[in-house]
Amino acid sequence: MTRKRQHAWQLWGWILFIVSALFFIATSLRAGDPLGLLGGLFFLLACFVFLVPLAAEAGWLSNLARLHRYFRYPRGWCRAARFLLPAPAAPTTAPVPEYLRDQIRRQQVRSALRYYASTR
């Protein structure tokens, strides 16, 4: 049996396990059994955990790495916006009313986001 065919059989096996876990959860919900529901949820989680190595070996997870191009801002935009905000204990240079300080912070964050969006 080829490697690709083995992956297909394993994938179908895990899909059947996931379907059986969903039926187990549905039965537990219908019966009102919280312990059975917890067991079904853990079984479903375990099925997904066992699918991860199969997906990594088949190369399905490498396709997820390319999804960042569909997001509006690049990966580091939140760090740049957070960098502009002062630390909680940082001293201020001049007494500025609170509403103006909030406006200035928002404007700095907006300009950083515009910059990162334009460099895309």
Three-class DSSP labels, the chain: CCHHHHHHHHHHHHHHHHHHHHHHHHHHHHHCCHHHHHHHHHHHHHHHHHHHHHHHHHCHHHHHHHHHHHCCCCCCHHHHHHHHCCCCCCCCCCCCCHHHHHHHHHHHHHHHHHHHHHCC
State if pTM tops 0.75. no
Q: What is the pLDDT of residue 53?
A: 83
User: Is the same domain home to 60 and 78?
Assistant: no
pLDDT surpasses 90 at 17: yes
pLDDT surpasses 60 at 31: yes
Domain boundary among 53, 68, 83: 68
Q: What is the pLDDT of residue 73?
A: 59
User: Is the same domain home to 63 and 7?
Assistant: yes
